[in-house]
């Protein structure tokens, strides 16, 4: 057993689990029964932030078992808890909201919420992207129309927040190096030049029917090493690359906690108040 030397980040599920999309491969649906008021949640969320900060954490990510922007009050409350922690020294340079981006196409929604959330410490919004063509993106989300990426970028940046793209690697979508390269170049033209990618899979980290082939994923990694300059690697795998002045990341969404290592990739705060060292809760409980 190793002693923990570093806890890199905190990921927290927030909100009531409502969603304005209906993805066939949604990894959050199984957690939605937990999306209700819980007396332990706020206390344990605050404890996770303080613990990670004490061990050198640098990133807080807010997500949901549904779509977090569908419950803006819960998002505000989470950021208020973070702001209270940051005033006491538990500060993260990266505070990210992971979202499908649908509501950020609405200028009025952005004007109402983004200035307030920014003042509470939010600094990046990460848009989940299944296809760089908005019509195909709408099909994946099973909605009538998806906003233009350029409008989403403009609406977010107008309020002083950064935009990140989460380009999801999916079978019959971005599944190999050819589609990946084309997608990256298209997103950069649309104003999204900070792009993270990981393969779609099961919540326990195993492959699913939607996961690209191993060969396809290998070709994407080879493309990155051939065409971009690696800036640094992640101890849990993957790394950050400089591609003509743009930031590309490749990683795994789920990393199983290894108690023999001296680091924790992330503390995950679940909506039932449980905090685990991994999205895979079994054998990885931190507090409950």
Asked if 248 and 259 touch (Cβ cutoff 8 Å), the reply is no
Phi, psi dihedrals of residue 60, rounded to the nearest 5°? -120, 125
Q: What is the pLDDT of residues 143-199, one digit of tens each?
A: 999 999 999 999 999 999 999 999 999 999 999 999 999 999 999 999 999 999 999
Radius of gyration of the chain (CA): 18
Within 244-284, strands assigned E span: 246-250, 263-264, 267-269, 275-276
Q: What is the pLDDT of residues 96-105, one digit of tens each?
A: 999 999 999 9
The more confident residue out of 287 and 73 is 73
Candidates 51, 57, 120; CA nearest to 87 is 120
**Domains assigned to the chain:** 6-287 (3.20.20.70)
Query: What is the value of pTM for the model shown?
Result: 0.94
Considering only the C-alpha atoms of the chain, give the largest distance between any 2 of them, rounded to a whole number of Å.
Answer: 52
Task: Give the chain's count of helices (H) and strands (E).
Answer: 7, 14
Q: What is the pLDDT of residues 201-255, one digit of tens each?
A: 887 778 889 999 999 999 999 999 999 999 998 888 889 999 999 999 999 877 7
Q: What is the pLDDT of residues 30-87, one digit of tens each?
A: 676 776 778 899 999 999 999 999 999 999 999 999 999 999 999 999 999 999 999 9
């Amino acid at each position: 057993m190793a002693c923990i030397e570093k806890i890199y980040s905190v990921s927290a599920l927030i909100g009531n689990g409502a969603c304005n999309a209906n993805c066939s491969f949604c990894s959050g649906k199984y957690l939605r029964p937990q999306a209700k008021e819980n007396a332990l949640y706020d206390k344990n969320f605050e404890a996770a932030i303080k613990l990670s900060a004490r061990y050198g954490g640098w990133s807080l990510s807010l997500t949901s078992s549904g779509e977090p922007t569908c419950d803006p009050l819960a998002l505000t409350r989470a950021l208020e808890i973070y702001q209270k922690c940051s005033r006491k020294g538990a500060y993260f340079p990266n505070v990210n909201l992971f979202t499908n981006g649908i509501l950020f196409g609405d200028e009025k929604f952005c004007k109402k919420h983004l200035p307030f959330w920014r003042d509470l410490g939010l600094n990046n919004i990460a848009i989940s992207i299944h296809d760089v063509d908005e019509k195909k993106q709408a099909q994946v989300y099973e909605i009538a129309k998806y906003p233009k990426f350029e409008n989403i970028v403009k609406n977010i940046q107008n309020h002083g927040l950064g935009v990140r793209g989460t380009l999801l690697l999916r079978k019959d979508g971005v599944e190999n190096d050819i589609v990946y390269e084309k997608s990256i170049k298209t997103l950069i033209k649309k104003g999204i030049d900070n792009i993270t990618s990981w393969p779609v899979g099961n919540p326990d980290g195993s492959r699913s029917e939607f996961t690209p082939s191993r060969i396809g994923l290998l070709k994407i990694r080879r493309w990155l090493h051939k065409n971009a300059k690696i800036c640094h690697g992640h101890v849990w795998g993957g790394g950050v690359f400089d591609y003509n002045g743009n930031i590309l990341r490749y990683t795994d969404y789920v990393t199983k906690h290894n108690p023999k290592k001296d680091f924790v990739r992330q503390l995950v705060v679940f909506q039932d108040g449980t905090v685990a060292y991994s999205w895979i809760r079994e054998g990885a409980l931190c507090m409950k």
